[in-house]
Amino acid sequence: MSLGRRAHRHAAWLFPAPAVLLVAAIIVYPIVYTGWMSLQEWFASSLTRPRFIGLANYGKIVLGDARFREAVARTVYFTIVAVAAETLLGVAMALLFNREFWGRGLLRTLAILPMVATPTAIALVFVMMYHPTLGVANYLVTTVGLSPFRWTYSSDTALYALALVDVWQWTPLIMLIALAGLASLPREPYEAAHLDGASARQAFWHITLPLLRPTLVVAILFRAIDALKTFDIIFVMTQGGPANATETINLLLFNQAFSYFNMGYAASMAVALFALVMGSSLILIKVRRSTAW
Amino acid sequence: MSARRFSRRTFLGSVVAGAAAGPFVWTPARAQGFTWKRFQGKELFLLLTKHPFIDVLEKNIPEFESLSGMRVKWETLPEIQARQKMTVEMTANSGGIDAFFTSLHVEKKRFWKAGWYHPLNKFLADTSLTSPDFDWNDFTPGAKAGVTQSDGSISALAAFVDANVFFYRKDLFGPKGLTPPKTLADLEPLVQKLHAPPGTYGIVLRGLKNANATQYPSILFPMGGTYLKDGKAALDSKEQVAALEMYTRLLRQYGPPGVVNFNWYECSASFMQGQVAIYMDGVNFASQFEDAAKSRVVGKVGYAVLPSGPGGHFSPIYITGMAVSSQSASKEAAYLFTQWATNKANMIRELMAGVGVGRTSTWDSAEVKAKPKMPADWYQAYQASLKIGRQGLPEIVGVTEYRDIIGVAIQKGIEGAPAAQVLAQAQKDFQDLLNRTEG
């Protein structure tokens, strides 16, 4: 058989091979390696080699490590608070921008600007704005008659202050996706409802929201995955403090890996975070497929 | 003290051994004595850290190149990133780093246990490798102890020595006839008298976890507290409780709002903005206070030694050094660089730029005295602090993890939790850490 014919026969796997190899090298290999590392006790050093300890790391994070359990609860709570606020605001903004009014294009462009900015840069700006005595946030709060907050400088408020940054930056994403969803809605149900005498509010609850649901679930899915693994703004603004009040799984595992050099233990946390993200994504996808809310 | 293990006797011993071997073993270098040009033509790679000491040093590296005939390449990274790169390179055994700048207060035991420091004892004793004017005994006892491991091996040559000192506003102290406190007992009443919010807050100390662990010993040591007792965690002693109680109460009652998450940056900013009367921190921050472009308190700051207490008089010190990598293929050439970087001439340059060093002779050098960059009381406070210097952090493998443990306890204390309660938790976590890493 000539080379050309042989190549032709095997084209089905020959052509995708480079791409498959690349994916294997940069995606599959690190995942498998992380899984393997999570079964070792390994303090990064050139003298002590990794030691295989089976599932002991997982036993420890599930049963022994209160700091990890708190981090999981905090991660989930942060995600729920941030994504809920983003969804409410995002849909409201989408409904607003779905109407025709003068200057809509300009305002819509301005509204999505936060999304384009670099999280680290934003975080640095918010650090300055949140400063309890020198920052502009407390100045604004006091001009409307409220008493000043401690923002990220108190363990009572720090998580909310961080969620606010996330909301500020990512609400536009939900808005954009919801706007696309609104644009694709059919007109007929509205006309029928109008003829039947439905109010605008009824049309929203019984037509717009149900039709928009699949789109919204996708938007929430994107945001939830992202919020679960938020790292940059927390690392820059609070480093997990005060007193661990904002230490999410990602922050904790970063500390374990790159401050304490507990590589194996950190890897097991990374796998746990992966399971959490995967699990919540599966639930959301199921919600999207099911017919009722 | 561990530094003494590199004693005159071992030094002389190795010199004698070298001299005795001399006639029988022909080594060209030994025959010629010391020369900077010995490794002419070699190339070195250094991993450096963003640091005032390095800022001064970098400018003079070309001078070393022409002195030694070697080519020097280097990379300067922020401290945390440098440590990460170091860990990755050394774990991978790449051999790409010949010498590196090391924060001994964090890395000393971990890097030593990992085998990353090449011990310098033999090099220091070798007169063909060490310049006759290097003078190891010129380093202060604290600086020597800081670079020496528990088995006597010398891991680095001390570069920058930081000491915690007492900064205060002369313009606020003067009119009230107040002076810096002699003892911890004097400190709180003094802070109370100066506390007049929102214009002036009595005191600022670091609140942010991990960062606060380097300032806590300013109260802990004079209170009589230690980190370890007979190799076991000692965070729940009554001295610890008293110290944490005081540290957190000062900040809770007399600190600026939000101090719980203040790192040195926020602390010095509020001090330079004139919002705070007293600030205790590393002596090197002072150069900013005297910089008119950054500070509103230029010329108004007084410098003093920390107050003493029932447990004695101490200044927590933190040492960085230049080390030779155990994986370097040209260790002796790398040693020439570390030696040059910490020699008298370079240390005088550092001191003139306001960077404190642990070489006794430099403090009295005519050049420094002729052109002081800082006020006289800064030099006095610094020198006095070096004399009562004690390593500010426990010398263990898990320094960073310890700093987080005590750091969280301090933050909870500032937010009102009882000292005994937060320290009980810290004690448990710290002992757990020691069990895991020190065995």
Residues of A in contact with B115 (CB under 8 A): 45-47
Mean pLDDT over residues B161-183, rounded?
Answer: 95
Q: Is A64 on the interface with B (CB under 8 A)?
A: no
Does residue B304 contact residue B376 with C-beta atoms inside 8 Å?
Answer: no
Does the predicted model carry a pTM greater than 0.90? no
Cβ-nearest to B408 among A44, A152, A244: A244
Q: Given pLDDT bands bounded at 50, 70 and 90, which one contains residue B95?
A: confident
Whether A154 sits inside 8 A of B415 (CB atoms) is: yes
What tens digit of pLDDT does each residue of B255-293 get? Answer: 999 899 888 888 998 999 999 999 999 998 888 898 889
Q: Which residues of chain A have pLDDT under 50?
A: 293
- Say how far residue A244 (Cα) sits from the centre of its chain: 20
ipTM for this model: 0.75
Residues of B in contact with A158 (CB under 8 A): 261
pLDDT at position B87 = 86
Residues of B in contact with A154 (CB under 8 A): 258, 260, 415
Whether A45 sits inside 8 A of B400 (CB atoms) is: no
Domain ranges of chain B: 2-161+317-389, 164-315+394-437
The CATH H-level superfamily of B164-315+394-437 is: Periplasmic binding protein-like II (3.40.190.10)
For chain B, the average pLDDT equals 89
Q: Which domain holds residue A141?
A: 58-289
d(CA A203, CA A198): 6
> How large a percentage of chain B has pLDDT more than 70?
92
Q: Given pLDDT bands bounded at 50, 70 and 90, which one contains residue B239?
A: very high
Q: Is B248 on the interface with A (CB under 8 A)?
A: no
pLDDT at position A45 = 59
Whether A243 sits inside 8 A of B260 (CB atoms) is: yes
Name the residue of chain B whose CA is nearest to A243's CA: B408
> How large a percentage of chain A has pLDDT more than 90?
53
Q: Which of residues 261-300 of B touch A (CB under 8 A)?
A: 261-262, 266, 269-270, 273, 275
Residues of B in contact with A44 (CB under 8 A): 87, 91
Phi, psi of B47, deg, nearest 5: -105, 110
Which one is predicted more confidently, B311 or B355? B311
Q: Which amino acid is at B168?
A: Y
The token duo for B50 is: 């963003």
d(CA A167, CA A85): 7
Q: Is residue A2 part of a domain?
A: no
Q: Given pLDDT bands bounded at 50, 70 and 90, which one contains residue B192?
A: very high
Q: Is B411 on the interface with A (CB under 8 A)?
A: yes
pLDDT at position B15 = 43
Angle value at C-alpha B60, between B58 and B61, nearest 5 degrees:
70
What tens digit of pLDDT does each residue of B351-389 get? Answer: 888 788 889 888 888 888 887 778 889 989 998 998 899
Q: Which of residues 120-149 of A touch B (CB under 8 A)?
A: 131-134, 148
**Fold: same for B2-161+317-389 and B164-315+394-437:** yes
Q: Is the pLDDT of residue B31 over 50?
A: no
Peptide bond into B198 cis (omega under 30): yes
d(CA B72, CA B64): 9
Report how many Cβ contacts below 8 Å link chain A to chain B.
91
Residues of B in contact with A131 (CB under 8 A): 258, 266
pLDDT at position A261 = 83
What distances in angstroms separate CA B353 from CA A94, B109, B293, B348, B381, one per listed residue?
A: 58, 30, 17, 9, 17
Least confident of B84-88, B165-169, B231-235: B84-88
Q: Is A46 on the interface with B (CB under 8 A)?
A: yes
pLDDT at position B405 = 95
**Maximum CA extent, chain B:** 78
Residues of A in contact with B207 (CB under 8 A): 242
Q: Is the pLDDT of residue B19 over 60?
A: no
- Side-chain-side CA neighbours of residue A161 (13 Å): 28
pLDDT at position B32 = 59
Count of all residues that appear for chain A in the document: 293
What tens digit of pLDDT does each residue of A21-64 get? Answer: 998 899 999 999 999 999 988 876 555 678 888 899 999 888 88
Residues of A in contact with B404 (CB under 8 A): 255, 259
d(CA A51, CA A59): 16
Reduced to 3 states, what is the DSSP secondary structure of residue B394?
coil
Query: What's the total number of domains in chain A?
Result: 1
Does residue B130 contact residue B339 with C-beta atoms inside 8 Å?
Answer: yes
Q: Which of residues 146-185 of A touch B (CB under 8 A)?
A: 148, 150-155, 158
**B2-161+317-389 has which CATH code?**
3.40.190.10
Residue B312: left if φ>0, alpha if ψ -120 to 50, beta else—which one?
Answer: left
CATH of the domain at A138: 1.10.3720.10
